[in-house]
């Protein structure tokens, strides 16, 4: 065994990002690695356990490494700690560039403070969680308290009890995963896989088993371990990690109910539909909300990127999150208006305000119904310009929903979802079956299959990818495919074999340079020739600024472009698209992004090629006319957005869109584009 004695110089200590970097590094080695701080010690491969140590800046930790690769593991850990665990090397004992020591996120707005019950007519501000307006009485959500009365009956018995509760929880999560995949899509269902990972967290299990060995019942041991870990995570200054506390509480409560025989936590709701108010809701509680009885919900804490908000959006449930503790003071039965797009809750509004909200709600409903009725018709502007409206999908179910929902094809098939939910890569035959079924579902309509886009935030554990300090700037998308030729070739063979069952096109993600396009294209051509398959169109995603700037050059060698505005915005503004505070500012309507879109369209059209948009911007009602005005030929949007986008296209003229685009290009900020006001 090797022992290291190191000082953590990071200004926030071993928390947040440095902790993640540390744990990811430890996981790469087979050796057992433990980290000790004072009296406390942790398994270095468990994030929640390392976070729970709470090592502050300037403190000394001891690290024990034992196993076959202990030499290399210890050397790598020592170097990583010395290099600042992803925050840069230390000088004079401090990490340059790191924020000052603070427990608060510097940019995070202070939560609103309310004293006593809010007055009638008060508008409480939170963060938009899921769009839609709801009007109704408040129902305070009280989580059934689970009493832990179980007494210790012996180590073996308690361990067996724990094991069977964990097995049952795993089964429940598998079926919840299937249920949500059915109601929403594979990507939202992944949340319940994260929960399965928490169930298997080595440190959590160590803590629970140690407590059982000390004479605590399985229920007591489990309850203490999960509530303790969740409370520590909730305190963290890294908002993304803090949002994961809700996931630990959720898994904690699930297993505890199984251990104590308590019934499922769903409260009994009144017959009249209500608006739920809660401190926070767990993802399982959100999925369990009966859509017949719940109009929407508002939580005091939480965030737009937490799993609860993601699920609300997928399930079409209006939601406001992070509205502050004041919302918990609202008396049961009080009428409120919840506006999930504005992120507001109006308490006890008078009749005229309620009437206005109901009218807005009614209008939204009518527009949705009218749009749904004509979803099968093409989207043609009032002056006769046709825009193709196609779907973003991630599964065969998504493909079937898209056909039923009026999609004119698929503009983006995110194939990585076939790879994410498993322990090994799907075989060529497995992939072929999915691509063939999707191609057949669309018949003669085009389906653009995007080749694997993993790396960045999409991790695939079985590929054993090396740790990267900046994964969004690392080996992701086509770069990763070119360095993993077997993975890439299997996928391309599967696509080429499926191509004769419909109208498939291939698209490469994250192209930054023409060399990558040439290399990827050459592999496709080689496989096509070997299989004797028909030629397919080959396009690229324009989501790296260099590709937009070089569009005129790339257009000679790509058959089409599809602009990934999610990544193009992130890379243009240098703002992480997942960042809890920056993500809201990373607006694709920023004139810098719009200028890159224009450059892409001009480059493509000059070479006779077409351009689509497949990022979220394509379904943003303020962006749709601007994108059309910039010359975008196709919009690829999420399946539920198809009818509304088509309906909107029919209400505008191309000339009006062009004027709006010209105006937007002349603005200085995204805010000005959205307000329609040039002010410089
Ligand atoms: C994009 O970046 O805009 C895009 C559509 O790709 P993804 O969101 O899958 O990265
Ligand atoms: Mg992208």
Range among 14-23, 44-53, 622-631 rated most confident: 622-631
Range 585-590 average pLDDT: 89
Poorest-pLDDT segment among 265-274, 346-355, 643-652:
265-274
User: Distance, CA 672 to ligand 2 centroid (Å)?
Assistant: 26
Does residue 614 carry a catalytic annotation?
A: yes
DSSP 355: H
What is the C-alpha end-to-end distance of the chain, expressed in Å?
65
C-alpha span between 486 and 480 (Å, rounded): 11
User: Distance, CA 510 to ligand 2 centroid (Å)?
Assistant: 7
Q: What is the pLDDT of residue 110?
A: 36
Q: Which of 307, 481, 590, 657 is catalytic?
A: 307
Give which of 311, 350, 345 is closest to 134, Cα–Cα: 345
Range 548-567 average pLDDT: 97
Looking at the chain, the whole-number percentage of residues with pLDDT higher than 70 is 89
Question: Is the per-residue pLDDT at 98 higher than 50?
Answer: no
Rounded to whole angstroms, the maximal C-alpha distance in the chain is: 79
Looking at the chain, the whole-number percentage of residues with pLDDT higher than 90 is 53
DSSP 511: -
Enclosing H/E stretch for 387: strand 386-393
C-alpha span between 288 and 176 (Å, rounded): 10
C-alpha span between 162 and 209 (Å, rounded): 9
Give which of 206, 210, 301 is closest to 249, Cα–Cα: 301
Please write the tens of the pLDDT for every residue from 391-423. 999 888 889 989 999 999 999 999 987 887 677
Mutate to test the pocket of ligand 1, among 541, 596, 600, 619 (most ligand atoms within 8 A of CB): 541
Question: Is the per-residue pLDDT at 649 higher than 90?
Answer: yes
With contact defined as beta carbons under 8 Å apart, do 138 and 336 qualify?
yes
Give the pLDDT band (50/70/90) at residue 143.
Answer: confident
Higher pLDDT, 365 or 625: 625
C-alpha span between 14 and 24 (Å, rounded): 13
Strand 294-299 to 379-380 pairing: unpaired
- Ligand 1 site, residue 232, Cβ cutoff 6 A: no
Q: Which of 9, 15, 298, 614 is catalytic?
A: 614
Give the pLDDT band (50/70/90) at residue 113.
Answer: very low
Q: Is 311 helix (H, G, I), strand (E, B) or coil?
A: helix
C-alpha span between 147 and 533 (Å, rounded): 64
C-alpha span between 73 and 384 (Å, rounded): 65
**pTM listed for this prediction:** 0.65
Please write the tens of the pLDDT for every residue from 607-620. 999 999 999 899 88
DSSP 458: B
Phi, psi of 337 (to 5 degrees): -115, 120
Beta carbons within 8 Å of 37's beta carbon, 6+ residues apart: 14, 53, 54, 55, 59, 61, 62
Question: Is the per-residue pLDDT at 154 higher than 50?
Answer: yes
Residue minimizing CA distance to atom 6 of ligand 1: 564
With contact defined as beta carbons under 8 Å apart, do 280 and 230 qualify?
no
Q: What is the pLDDT of residue 427?
A: 96
Q: What is the pLDDT of residue 282?
A: 83
Distances 623 to 613, 661, 667 between C-alpha atoms, Å: 11, 9, 14
- As a whole number, the mean pLDDT across the chain is 86
Q: What is the pLDDT of residue 584?
A: 62
Beta carbons within 8 Å of 373's beta carbon, 6+ residues apart: none
User: How many CA within 13 A on the CB side of residue 533?
Assistant: 24
Question: Is the per-residue pLDDT at 276 higher than 80?
Answer: yes
- Ligand 1 site, residue 566, Cβ cutoff 6 A: yes
Q: What is the pLDDT of residue 243?
A: 66
- Ligand 1 site, residue 565, Cβ cutoff 6 A: yes
Please write the tens of the pLDDT for every residue from 285-326. 888 888 889 999 999 988 776 778 878 887 889 999 989 889
């Amino acid at each position: 065994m090797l022992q290291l004695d190191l000082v953590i110089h990071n200004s926030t200590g071993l928390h947040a990002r440095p902790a993640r970097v540390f744990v990811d590094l430890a996981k790469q080695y087979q050796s057992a690695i433990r980290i000790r701080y004072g009296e406390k010690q942790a398994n270095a491969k468990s994030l929640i356990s390392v976070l729970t140590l709470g090592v502050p800046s300037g403190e000394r930790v001891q690290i024990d490494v034992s196993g076959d690769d202990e030499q290399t593991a210890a050397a790598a850990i020592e170097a990583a700690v010395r290099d600042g665990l992803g925050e840069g090397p230390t000088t004079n004992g401090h990490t340059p560039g790191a924020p000052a020591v603070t427990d608060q996120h510097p940019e995070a707005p202070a939560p609103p403070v309310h004293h006593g019950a809010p007055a009638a007519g008060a508008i409480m501000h939170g963060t938009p969680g899921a769009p839609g307006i709801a009007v109704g009485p408040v129902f305070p959500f009280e989580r059934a308290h689970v009493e832990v009365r179980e007494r210790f009956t012996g180590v073996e018995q308690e361990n067996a009890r724990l094991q069977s509760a964990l097995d049952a929880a795993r089964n429940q999560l598998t079926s919840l995963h299937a249920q949500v995949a059915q109601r929403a899509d594979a990507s939202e269902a992944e949340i319940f896989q994260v929960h399965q990972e928490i169930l298997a967290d080595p440190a959590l299990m160590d803590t629970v088993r140690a407590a059982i060995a000390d004479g605590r019942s399985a229920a007591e041991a489990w309850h203490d371990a999960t509530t303790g870990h969740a409370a520590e995570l909730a305190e963290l200054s890294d908002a993304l990690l803090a949002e994961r506390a809700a996931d630990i509480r959720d898994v904690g409560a699930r297993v505890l109910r199984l251990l104590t025989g308590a019934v499922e936590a769903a409260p009994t709701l009144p017959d009249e539909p209500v608006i739920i108010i809660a401190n926070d809701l767990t993802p399982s509680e959100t999925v369990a909300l009966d859509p017949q009885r719940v109009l929407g919900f508002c939580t005091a804490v939480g965030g737009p990127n937490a799993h609860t908000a993601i699920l609300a959006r997928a399930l079409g449930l209006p939601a406001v999150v992070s509205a502050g503790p004041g919302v918990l003071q609202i008396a049961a039965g009080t009428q409120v208006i919840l506006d999930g797009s504005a992120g507001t809750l109006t308490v006890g509004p008078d009749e005229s305000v309620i009437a206005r909200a109901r009218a807005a709600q009614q209008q939204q409903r009518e527009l949705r119904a009218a749009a749904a009725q004509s979803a099968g018709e093409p989207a043609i502007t009032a002056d006769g310009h046709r825009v193709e409206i196609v779907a973003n999908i991630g599964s065969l179910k998504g493909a079937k929903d898209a056909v039923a929902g009026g999609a004119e094809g698929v503009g983006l098939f995110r194939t990585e979802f076939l790879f994410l939910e498993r322990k090994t890569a799907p075989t060529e035959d497995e992939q072929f079956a999915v691509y063939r079924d999707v191609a057949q579902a669309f018949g003669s309509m085009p389906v653009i299959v995007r080749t694997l886009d993993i790396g960045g935030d999409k991790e695939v554990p079985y590929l054993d990818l090396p740790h990267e300090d900046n994964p969004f700037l690392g080996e992701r998308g086509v770069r990763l495919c070119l360095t993993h030729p077997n993975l890439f070739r299997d996928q391309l063979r599967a696509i080429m074999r499926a191509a004769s069952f419909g109208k498939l096109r291939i698209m490469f993600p994250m192209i930054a340079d023409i060399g990558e396009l040439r290399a990827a294209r050459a592999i496709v051509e080689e496989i096509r020739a070997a299989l004797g398959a028909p030629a397919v169109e080959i396009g690229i995603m324009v989501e790296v600024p260099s590709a937009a700037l070089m569009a005129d050059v790339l257009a000679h060698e790509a058959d089409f472009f599809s602009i990934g505005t999610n990544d193009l915005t992130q890379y243009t503004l240098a703002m992480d698209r997942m960042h809890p505070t920056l993500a809201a500012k990373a607006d694709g309507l920023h004139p810098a992004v719009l200028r890159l879109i224009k450059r892409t369209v001009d480059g493509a059209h000059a070479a006779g090629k077409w351009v689509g948009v497949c990022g979220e911007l394509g379904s943003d009602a303020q962006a749709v006319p601007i994108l059309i005005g910039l010359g975008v030929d196709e919009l690829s949007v999420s399946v539920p957005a198809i009818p509304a986008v088509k309906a909107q296209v029919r209400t505008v003229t191309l000339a009006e869109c062009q004027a709006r685009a010209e105006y937007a290009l002349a603005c200085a900020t995204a805010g000005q584009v959205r307000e329609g006001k040039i002010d410089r």
